[in-house]
Structure 1
Amino acid sequence: MAEYKDFLDLFSDENDMDYNYTDPIFVVDKLVNLCATADVNRFGAKFTPILYTINFLLSIIGNGLVLCIMYKYEKLTSITNIFLLNLVISDLLFASSLPFWALYHLYGWIFDSIMCKLVGSLYFIGFYSSILFLTLMTFDRYLAVVHAINAPKWRRKIYACVSSAVVWCISLLASVKELVLYNVREDPRDGYLCEETGFSNAIMIKWQLVGYYQQFVIFFLFPLAMVMYCYVRITVRIMSTQMRGKRRAVKLISVIIFTFFVCWTPYNVVILLRALQISTSDDSEPCSEVLNHAVYVTRNIAYLYCCVSPVFYTFVGKKFQSHFWQLLAKRIPCLKRHIMTSQSGNSRITSQKSPHTMYEYEKGTGLQARAQVPVPI
């Protein structure tokens, strides 16, 4: 002890050096509550890889089928197909990241930091652009149906290209945060992790809140409001016409709105609750086991809709259904006679309709002559 006291005397006031050994920067004056996440992590490791694998397979099969039909039977330069092609690309980008996250939940991050940033960015770029392209396709249908006379003036190829470019730019800007913050770090208990890291806790919480509110406002409230408004106006327009089959069109619109709402609302409500919890909590890492479990479940429901949305938006239409059966008949010859019989029966029914009940899309631009209202599905 005497030697230690002599050592401290070397750095006393007589040497004009005042060291404060109780610097408040390094003093912890309150307990830090650590979240017990073992159960949540086990839950995620058990179910998330399975759900991610299912979403990936559905996305590859469904989007691949849509691309195949578009390539064989459709013009890729039409307005509707430009939007649909971009939607398929965004969903494939998103789906391409899912196998990496499935492996991550099983074994930890086994790749380098560059792959961590790349996969994290593709994940959010595809996720954000998918919901925006769904909104854009809904708005395009609104223009074609509600503003049928003036729609051909607006619905040109330049309109589709510029709108798609804007969606991609917004998605890229919204994903810059992940590109900057995502990195690999080593955890003593969980091994190598790929997550937002590298800054102080206060900064990370602020960016986390930015991401949550960005997700809720830009990629949920705005798309939901647009989808509701556009489809309500479309429904009113259809019901005011003498169109045959308008009940079917209204039912399909109801299914689309209902599915959109059911799939997206739970996840975004959980995101909002998490943001409010972080904003109002005194702890640096507020704990809520219920919310943590809810994120795993609701997120996969939203991702499932994101992966199958191109199939959902195309195969409800009779034109794509016809293309699908033609493609299937080439692969399965025994179905060819049945499909030809069914199509000939449909053509006889169509030929019996009066001109006033025919409502069709004109390929690429909009409507047939005399401002007829097209079926929006």
Structure 2
Amino acid sequence: MSDNDEFLYFLKLFNETDDTTDLNYVVSKTVQLCTKTNVNQFGARVIPVFYYINFLLSYLGNGLVLFIIYKYEKLNTVTNIFLLNLVLSNILFASSLPFWATYHLSEWIFGMALCKIVSSAYFIGFYSSILFLTLMTFDRYLAVVHAVTAAKSRKKVYAIIASVTVWCISIVASVKELVLQNVWKSPFNGLMCEESGFAESTMQRWRLVSYYQQFLLFFLLPLFMVMYCYISITIRILSTRMREKCRAIKLIFVIIFTFFACWTPYNIVILLQALQVSSTSGDNDSCSDSESLDYALYVTRNIAYLYCCISPVFYTFVGKKFQRHFKRLMAKKIPCLKGHIGLSSQSTRTTSQRTSPSAYEY
């Protein structure tokens, strides 16, 4: 909409004789309006590309892991059950990305029902993915640090109960999306699928709940658990005579660093947004500060989403067993590699018989 169209629309509203004011949105103070035209244009250009890339990588990576589990593995181990649930949560999350990409390109064209369903699926997949990554880390910690005790408790029932708990927590944390997400028509941006329908004070409280929920429950808690578990695993590995000790420690360092690097910037922006919403100051720089946070959110969120999408591949292929499955698959599809793959697999089997089980021999 051009500046002239915006002015004509303003005159139309100004000359209205009917009082259609919703008292829920009446405030007794000056409200500064931030159009965020530049931010919206940036989002329309950049976000769809990121979302489609994340969507493709997620379906390729998670699809590959799912195929390997189906072809070479059985769902009778705790690790495979957790891995399957992680793959499903990432596929659920990635399935919502094409809808959001289309939304950023134009407007919400999919109706009210899909607005609520896609929003809920988006957050359920996102939250459950984080929790399953944390759960897999904790299970790895039990298997390595408390191997004797864990051998009795790490049964199929334990994995199923833990997985159901994660899904329930994720669904409960996403219920507000099902309630608050609505489709409404903006005079400047067309049909919007956003949180609306309640008084501004109510919406502000729910936004704060979302921000702090994301930062505390789905970042700080998983981060502390991942750090504690992998530090304990490292100490345990250093005290053993495992021949591939250095390789295992390097992998642990890479996992911790990647998790921290991908998730920390996004959650710092989330925390800053929460502090901004909580602030009652109405200075002239609030719009510019808000725009800066929006730009930062676009970039950091997609880094976090990318990790969320490729994490099953990352966590799977640090394990020798899944590496062998992948080599077998490649040898079957590309016959010229068969001799090399067979020699490598035999070598790996011989080595594994001579050494104690690795923390990553899944």
Q: What displacement does 1:344 show?
A: 3.2
- Name the counterpart of 2:356: 358
Provide the rounded CA distance (Å) in 1 between the counterparts of 2:184 and 2:97.
Answer: 20
The structure with the larger Rg is 1
Matched position secondary structure for 1:199:
coil
- Name the counterpart of 1:200: 199
TM-score normalised by structure 1 residue count: 0.86
1:122-271 equivalent positions in 2, closer than 5 A: 122-271=121-270
Provide the rounded CA distance (Å) in 1 between the counterparts of 2:109 and 2:215.
Answer: 31
Q: What displacement does 1:375 show?
A: 4.3
Structure 1 pair 225–25 and aligned structure 2 pair: CA distance change class (3 A) = closer
Q: Deviations over 1:1-21 (max 9, x none)?
A: xxxxxxxxxxxxxxxxxxxxx
Matched position secondary structure for 1:149:
helix
Q: What displacement does 1:376 show?
A: 6.6
- Name the counterpart of 2:44: 45
Provide the rounded CA distance (Å) in 2 between the counterparts of 1:206 and 1:358.
Answer: 53
**What is the total number of aligned residue pairs between the two structures?**
337
Q: What displacement does 1:27 show?
A: 7.6
Q: What displacement does 1:347 show?
A: 4.1
Question: 2:319 touches 2:360 (CA, 8 Å); kept in 1?
Answer: no
What letter is aligned with 2:106? Y
- Name the counterpart of 1:6: none
2:345 is the alignment partner of 1:343: yes
Q: What displacement does 1:278 show?
A: 1.1
What letter is aligned with 1:59? S
Structure 1 pair 26–109 and aligned structure 2 pair: CA distance change class (3 A) = closer
Q: Deviations over 1:157-190 (max 9, x none)?
A: 1110111111001000000010000010000010
Provide the rounded CA distance (Å) in 1 between the counterparts of 2:160 and 2:26.
Answer: 57
Question: 2:93 touches 2:123 (CA, 8 Å); kept in 1?
Answer: yes
Structure 1 pair 81–25 and aligned structure 2 pair: CA distance change class (3 A) = closer
2:106 is the alignment partner of 1:104: no
- Name the counterpart of 1:5: none
- Name the counterpart of 1:278: 277
Matched position secondary structure for 1:33:
coil
1:82-93 equivalent positions in 2, closer than 5 A: 82-93=81-92
Q: What displacement does 1:64 show?
A: 0.5
Matched position secondary structure for 1:175:
helix
Higher mean C-alpha displacement, 315-324 vs 209-218:
315-324
Provide the rounded CA distance (Å) in 2 between the counterparts of 1:26 and 1:66.
Answer: 49
Provide the rounded CA distance (Å) in 2 between the counterparts of 1:260 and 1:320.
Answer: 21
Which has a greater percent of helix? 2
Provide the rounded CA distance (Å) in 2 between the counterparts of 1:344 and 1:276.
Answer: 57
What letter is aligned with 1:86? N
Percent pairwise identity: 64
Q: What displacement does 1:31 show?
A: 2.5
Matched position secondary structure for 1:242:
coil
Provide the rounded CA distance (Å) in 1 between the counterparts of 2:157 and 2:35.
Answer: 53
TM-score normalised by structure 2 residue count: 0.89
Matched position secondary structure for 2:148:
coil
Q: What displacement does 1:346 show?
A: 3.5
Root-mean-square deviation (Å): 1.9
Matched position secondary structure for 2:183:
strand
Matched position secondary structure for 2:231:
helix
Provide the rounded CA distance (Å) in 1 between the counterparts of 2:352 and 2:264.
Answer: 40
- Name the counterpart of 1:309: 311
Question: 1:97 touches 1:123 (CA, 8 Å); kept in 2?
Answer: yes
